[in-house]
Amino acid sequence: MIELEDFFEDVIGKTLRGTGVADGVLSFLTNVEPDTIAKLKEGEFDESAVRAIAPALGLDADSLVELANRSWRPEPVELAGLQQFNTIFDPDPDDMMTVNSYLIWDPQTKEAALFDTGADAGPALAAIGELGLELTTLFITHSHIDHIIDREKVVAAHPGIRVLVNAKEPVAGAERFAAGDTFSIGTLRVITRLTWGHSPAGTTYVVNGLARPVAVVGDALFAQSMGGGVISFKDALATNRSEIFTLEDQTVVCPGHGPMTSVGEEKAHNPFFPEFKS
C-alpha cells in the first residue's frame, strides 16, 4: 500500500512558505502562541491550534485534522489500461522518498505510453513485455530529476520512442509541445493542460477512452495535498482549480507521489481547496 505523500505539517509548511505569512503574523491573526505554531510545523499535533490557524491560511480545518489523524485514504483504483509503478528515489530509512510513473494503454490496439519514468523504469518496462504492449510514447509531466532520471533506459529499450514535454520546461532529447496540444494512444485521446507553479510548466495529461477518465498530474496535486509552489504557490493553486478540479468527479488522479485518488475525493478531502467542501 502506498502511503499518503504528506503529513499535516507539510501542508502547513507549504502554505506558510507559499503565502509568505510569518509565524508572528499568524499568531497575531489567530491568537495561537508562536511556540505552538512552531510545534505544529515540527509535526506535534494540537487539534484546537490546527482548527484556529487553518482558516487564516485558506485551508479546510476538517480536512487538515483528518490528514493529521490519517483517518482517510482514497479508494483503491483498478482500471483496465492503467498501471501505477512506485519506485524508491531516496533510500534513506529515516526519510525515504518514492516516486510514481504510470503505464497507460489501449486494451484494443495494445499501444501504450509511459508517463514519467520514476526512479527505476525497470518494473514498467517488464510489464510492457508481459502484457504484450507496444510502447510508442514517453510523456513527461515536469523536469524534476526524480520523475525523469531513468529516461535513457526507456529510450534504449524502445528505440524510436517519442519523448514529449511542455515547451516551456524543455528536457534534452524530448520533443516539445504547447499546452492544449492533443495526442493519442491507440484509440485513447490525450489532452494536455498547463498546471504550473510547482515547476515552470508542469503538465497534466487527461486521457479519455478507458472506463474512467484519467489525469496524470505530476506534482501538481497529491492525495490530500499538493506539490509545493516552488515557482508560484498562487498559480499552483489557481491552475489546479481551473485545470484539474473542473474535470469529472470520477476522473482518476495519478500523482507523482503517493496513492492514486480522484477529483471527487480531492474535492471532499484536500485541505488546500476548502471551496469545494459541501
The pLDDT score that the predictor gives to residue 262 is 98
Q: Which residues of 191-225 are buried (b: 16+ CB within 10 A; e: fewer)?
A: bbbbbbbbbebbbbbbbebbebbbbbbbbbbbbbb
Strands 188-194 and 203-208: antiparallel
Per-10-residue mean pLDDT, the chain, length 278: 96 98 97 98 98 98 98 98 96 87 98 98 98 98 97 97 98 97 98 98 98 98 97 98 98 98 98 94
CATH 3.60.15.10 segments of the chain: 82-276
Given a contact cutoff of 8 angstroms between Cβ atoms, the answer to whether 41 and 259 are in contact is no
What is the CATH code of the structural domain delimited by 82-276? 3.60.15.10
Domain 8-69 top-level CATH class: mainly alpha
SS3 255: strand
Cα separation, 98 vs 105, whole angstroms: 23
**Range list of β-strands (E), 65-187:** 82-90, 97-105, 111-115, 134-139, 162-166, 175-177, 182-185
Start and end residues for every CATH 1.10.260 domain found in the chain: 8-69
Do residues 256 and 99 lie in contact, with contact meaning Cβ atoms separated by under 8 Å? yes
CA 170 to chain centroid? 19
- Amino acid making up residue 46: D
Which pTM was predicted?
0.97
What is the spatial distance between Cα 183 and Cα 190, in angstroms, rounded to a whole number?
5
Per-residue pLDDT at 172: 94
Quote the pLDDT of residue 169.
97
Handedness of CA 19, 197, 147, 221 (dihedral sign): positive
Q: How far is CA 196 from the centre of its chain?
A: 12
254 grid coordinates: 495519478
Degrees (nearest 5) of the Cα angle 17, 245, 52? 45
Q: Is 178 left (phi over 0), alpha (psi -120 to 50) or beta?
A: beta
Nearest-angstrom CA–CA distance, 207 and 186: 11
Amino acid identity at 170 = P
19-22 contacts, C-beta under 8 A, 24 or more apart:
19/57, 19/58, 19/233, 21/56, 21/57
Q: pLDDT at position 165, please?
A: 98
In this structure, the chain runs to a length of 278
